[in-house]
């Protein structure tokens, strides 16, 4: 029996690095402190407490491990990140109570007029000043958690990290003395239905629609998506009021483009409108907006599922939603799936009318849409024998979705573990970033195996016969 336990323990990656038995004294001390109503400690406090254990005290890296593991178990909140790593919330419900200081319903607003008006203002504009936040936190029931300004500053940084407070793009670096935040979840005003979407913009507007597969989108995810959007593009303002609504926002994007984003049941809808016409809309701008939104949605889904203990791989996230592009038609919007729109110049919609896909393809970076000249026979022998540079690698990588790329990568002779590690290390870079890193990794791994990487290697791994001209796009 004990043998089995040892074998099991040795299989754990933590074997030999962490000795949880050694954690017991510090765990007991922390639970004592919780009972004595300590909620938020500095890391120095914890270090001092730890040192009381003398020969059982953890060294610095063991203490760091301890905090990280306890965090992942939900026993405390600790982020080893700049601005966040000096404090530890040893009693996590404290954070929920602190949140109630400004994320709350009208009936729980404080009695004091000045505090009440801060919260009333917040529900109308979605804005709150840091000084006002601190005023709310000076009330007795919050003061006990945050007795000094250093702790309050830490909580502000934590709430920014958790996307509850959003630093709006517009107001960045304008007035550092009194910072302003947006709190999307506190906006009560519903979106004006007549402008989400705007219909009378026929040839000036295109749509995107993300539909989540399972049920409706949880509120927490909605606010994270809206928050992410707000930190990328400036909010449009009308009569001094930011165009931020309950689960909706209007943003200004470069070159006279207006972006409307709103959440409706299980769908996230996006409308981009150019002030002049679709001809004036930049393909690159539209496609990069789509990539940015997609990446943000995927990382929000990933964050949401990981904070509920279900770790999903980035490659699986894309299966949890579908993406369509659309154009206005009469008083409706006609959508077509993003995969279909790539292969067709026109399509007949449900109402029986034919639409061009020309502007809809603006949403997608399509590096392989230009056709070769007649009689093109692909790369010459010399070209095939040449060494691919980084541009070639990134360009070829961009012609794959991540699932197809995994097959291709193994045909290049790379093992799945290498790819999984890259996927993990570079998950914040989005799928194209991961693919690019993997391609470059392939090239650098070749000399180690005494091989010279060539365009021919890349070509042969493509396999099928109809890929001759795929390499032409890489060469450009």
Nearer to Zn ion, 311 or 350 (CB): 350
Nearer to Zn ion, 116 or 330 (CB): 330
Distance of closest approach, residue 227 Cβ to Zn ion, in angstroms: 33
Positive or negative, the CA dihedral 106, 112, 117, 119 is negative
Distances (CA, A) of 236 to 140, 261, 282: 37, 12, 20
Distance of closest approach, residue 325 Cβ to Zn ion, in angstroms: 13
Residue 100 main-chain phi, psi, to 5 deg: -65, -15
Distance of closest approach, residue 405 Cβ to Zn ion, in angstroms: 22
Nearer to Zn ion, 71 or 469 (CB): 469
Distance of closest approach, residue 361 Cβ to Zn ion, in angstroms: 17
Nearer to Zn ion, 28 or 376 (CB): 376
Nearer to Zn ion, 140 or 354 (CB): 354
Nearer to Zn ion, 9 or 353 (CB): 353
Distance of closest approach, residue 367 Cβ to Zn ion, in angstroms: 14
> Where is 251: in which H helix or E strand?
strand 248-253
Distance of closest approach, residue 393 Cβ to Zn ion, in angstroms: 19
Question: What residues pair up with 81 in beta bridges, in sequence order?
Answer: none
- Give me the residues that bind Zn ion (CB under 5 A), please: 329, 334, 349, 351, 353, 372, 376, 469, 472
Where do the H-state alpha helices sit in 36-139? 43-51, 60-72, 93-99, 113-125, 130-137
Task: Give the SS3 label for residue 268.
Answer: strand
The alpha carbon of residue 392 and the mean position of all alpha carbons in its chain are separated, in whole angstroms, by 28
Q: Which two tokens stand for residue 106?
A: 């009208």
Q: What is the C-alpha separation between 459 and 446, in angstroms, rounded?
A: 15
Whether the Cβ atoms of residue 472 and residue 372 lie closer than 8 Å to each other: yes
Distance of closest approach, residue 438 Cβ to Zn ion, in angstroms: 25
Q: What is the C-alpha separation between 40 and 46, in angstroms, rounded?
A: 10
Residue 419 main-chain phi, psi, to 5 deg: -65, -45
Q: What is the C-alpha separation between 191 and 264, in angstroms, rounded?
A: 11
Distance of closest approach, residue 278 Cβ to Zn ion, in angstroms: 16
Please, what is the angle between helix 130-137 and helix 149-161, to 10°?
Answer: 120
Nearer to Zn ion, 276 or 460 (CB): 460
Residue 148 main-chain phi, psi, to 5 deg: -140, 170
Task: Identify which of 225, 223, 221, 187 has the alpha carbon closest to the alpha carbon of residue 208.
Answer: 225
Nearer to Zn ion, 139 or 351 (CB): 351
């Amino acid at each position: 029996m004990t043998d089995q336990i040892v074998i099991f323990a040795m299989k754990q990656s933590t074997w030999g690095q962490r000795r949880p038995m050694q954690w017991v004294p510090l765990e007991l001390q922390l639970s004592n402190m919780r009972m004595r109503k300590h909620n938020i400690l500095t890391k120095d406090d914890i270090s001092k407490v730890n040192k009381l254990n003398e020969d059982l005290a953890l060294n610095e890296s063991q203490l760091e491990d301890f905090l990280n593991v306890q965090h992942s178990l939900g026993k405390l909140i600790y982020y080893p990140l700049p601005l966040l790593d000096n404090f530890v919330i040893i009693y996590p419900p404290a954070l929920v109570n602190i949140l109630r200081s400004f994320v709350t319903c009208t009936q729980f607003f404080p009695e004091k007029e000045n505090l009440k008006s801060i919260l009333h203002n917040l529900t109308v504009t979605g804005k709150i000043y840091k000084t006002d936040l601190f005023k709310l936190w000076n009330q007795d029931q919050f003061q006990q958690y945050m007795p000094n300004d250093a702790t309050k500053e830490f909580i502000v940084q934590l709430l920014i990290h958790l996307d509850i407070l959003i630093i709006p793009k517009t107001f960045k670096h304008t007035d550092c003395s009194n910072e302003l935040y947006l709190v999307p979840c506190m906006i009560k005003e519903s979106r004006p239905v007549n402008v989400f979407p705007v219909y009378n913009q026929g040839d000036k507007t295109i749509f995107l629609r993300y539909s989540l597969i399972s049920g409706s989108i949880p509120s927490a995810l909605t606010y994270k998506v809206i928050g992410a959007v707000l930190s990328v593009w400036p909010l449009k303002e009308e009569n001094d009021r930011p165009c931020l609504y309950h689960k909706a926002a209007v943003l200004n994007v470069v070159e006279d483009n207006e972006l409307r984003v709103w959440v409706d049941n299980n769908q996230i809808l996006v409308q981009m409108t150019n002030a002049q016409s679709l001809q004036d809309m930049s393909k690159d701008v539209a496609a990069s907006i789509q990539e940015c939104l997609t990446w943000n949605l995927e990382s929000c889904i990933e964050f949401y599922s990981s904070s509920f203990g279900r770790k999903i791989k980035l490659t699986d996230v894309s299966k949890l939603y579908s993406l369509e592009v659309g154009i206005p038609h009469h008083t409706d919007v006609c959508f077509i799936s993003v995969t279909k729109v790539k292969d067709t110049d026109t399509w007949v919609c449900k109402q029986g009318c034919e639409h061009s896909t020309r502007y809809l393809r603006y949403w997608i970076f399509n590096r392989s849409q230009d056709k070769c000249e007649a009689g093109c026979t692909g790369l010459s022998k010399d070209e095939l024998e040449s060494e691919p540079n980084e541009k070639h690698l990134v360009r070829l990588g961009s012609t794959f979705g991540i699932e197809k790329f995994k097959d291709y990568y193994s045909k290049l002779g790379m093992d799945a573990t290498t790819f999984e590690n890259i996927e993990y290390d570079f998950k914040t870079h989005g799928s194209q970033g991961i693919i690019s890193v993997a391609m470059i990794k392939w090239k650098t791994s070749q000399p180690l195996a005494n091989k010279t990487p060539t365009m021919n290697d890349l070509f042969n791994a493509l396999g099928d016969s109809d890929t001759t001209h795929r390499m032409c796009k890489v060469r450009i």
